[in-house]
Amino acid sequence: MSSTDRGLHIPSLDGLRCIAILPVFVSHALESAGLARVVPGNFGVTLFFFLSGYLITTLMRLEFERTGSLSFRMFYLRRALRIMPTCYIVLALAAAYGWFAGRLEPWWLLGQILQLTNYQIVVGGWEAPIAPHTDVYWSLAVEEHFYLAFPLVYLLLARTWPRQRIAAVLLAACALVLLWRCLLIFGFGASYDRTYLSTDTRIDSILFGCVLALWGNPAMDRSEISSATWQRRWLPLAVVVILATFLVPHRAFRETLGYSIQGLCLFAVFITAVRYPDWGPMRVLNLPLVRWIGLLSYAIYLVHPSMLALAKSLAGTSVPLMLILATGLTCGAAALLYYGIERPLGRLRKRYSIVDRPA
């Protein structure tokens, strides 16, 4: 979602979307070339989760502060217009290909339609008979499960508690998710797929973003910490720690503390990027090309696995040619989806936005 789609301009968010999609695309491209694990694509998904929690909770906070309530009907209508059309068009095309290729089971497709892809992969593995090249739908499933319940939870808490207390509760929920992952891995020997893909083990990445929206929101709240402290101390420290998490080889660390440490470090990244968009390094996030890629990021995320497969079949054994073709095909397909579907529906969504209405 563009930060301007709903009348709320938050600097750098489209640029952060670009930063999130690049490692996902590059890691999958290198994997197609037989160079798996060179780039930590998993972090891109964590960044997407954080961004989603931050932006959507910011919008809910604005609506609640303006009206004293939340319109669930409007929320889910906007959510459906944002996610479902592009999601199901890409899924339908992949399913048609899978059906003719004999690689699709109807019941598994039904599970994907119902946003269960993450648990389908947990049960059936990465070779499960879902629509070809749609395994990335697992992260959409995590988000849709989360947002089925979160607006109601937020409204109930907001009616009785101040924002800071709600944020503390959500932060405690992040700690509980970490403990649950630890129990699954150290107590039950859970698989990588179980902890990486499941809603109950990954929603803390979304919750961290929700916490920032409520407590110290860089787009809405004042900060007692100076700009120099954020720019010269907390941001560099956060970046160094995030990079360090990529270097730890132990699976148990990556699947337990790794996600949590990255989520905490993203606070400094988002605060600096949103609060100081004209400061040195953050200007990059607001360059036209970077923002454009960010606008296409949702469509890129959905189509890039199939475009990578197509590019690989066209390029043969030439890895450079495959990468060039994959980049061009992915950007072309994503642009068609964005300008043909997402952008027109974005204008329609404004009609159902409480935040856009005059106070």
Q: Is residue 228 classed exposed, middle or buried when 0-12, 13-18 and 19+ CB atoms within 10 A define those classes? A: exposed
CA angle 218/167/301 to nearest 5° reads: 65
Torsional sign, CA 321, 325, 328, 330: negative
pLDDT-derived band at 5, boundaries 50, 70, 90: very low
Supply the pLDDT for residue 249: 82
Predicted TM-score of the model (pTM): 0.94
* Per-residue pLDDT, 328: 97
Q: Quick check: helix, strand or coil at residue 317? A: coil
In tens, the pLDDT along 10-64 reads 999 999 999 999 999 999 998 877 776 778 899 999 999 999 999 999 999 999 9
pLDDT of 356: 59
Residue-level pLDDT at 348: 86
pLDDT at residue 296 in the model: 98
Least reliable range by pLDDT among 97-111, 159-173, 222-236 = 97-111
CB 206 within 8 A of CB 146: yes
Residue 357 clears pLDDT 60, i.e. is over it: no
pLDDT at 352 over 80: no
| CA 304/CA 326 separation, integer angstroms | 8
Question: Model confidence over 322-349: pLDDT tens digits?
Answer: 999 999 999 999 999 999 999 999 888 8
Predicted local confidence at residue 64, as pLDDT: 96
Nearest to 114 by CA among 136, 94, 87, 96: 87
As a whole number of angstroms, the distance between CA 8 and CA 58 comes to 9
pLDDT tens per residue, range 91-140: 999 999 999 988 888 999 999 999 999 999 999 999 999 999 999 999 99
Mean of the per-residue pLDDT values of the chain: 93
| Number of neighbours of residue 192 by Cβ within 10 angstroms | 11
> What pLDDT was estimated at residue 359?
35
Please name the residues in contact with 285: beta carbons below 8 A apart, sequence gap of 6 or more: 11, 12, 14, 15, 16, 18, 19, 273, 277, 291
Q: What is the mean pLDDT of residues 152-175?
A: 97
Q: Which residues of 288-324 are buried (b: 16+ CB within 10 A; e: fewer)?
A: eebbebbbbbbbbbbbbbbbbebbbeebeeebeebbe
- According to the model, what pLDDT value does residue 6 have? 40
Choice between 2 and 305, residue whose per-residue pLDDT is larger: 305
pLDDT at residue number 54:
98
Please answer whether residues 236 and 184 qualify as being in contact, where contact means their C-beta atoms are separated by less than 8 angstroms: no
Type of residue at 285? L
pLDDT at 302: 98
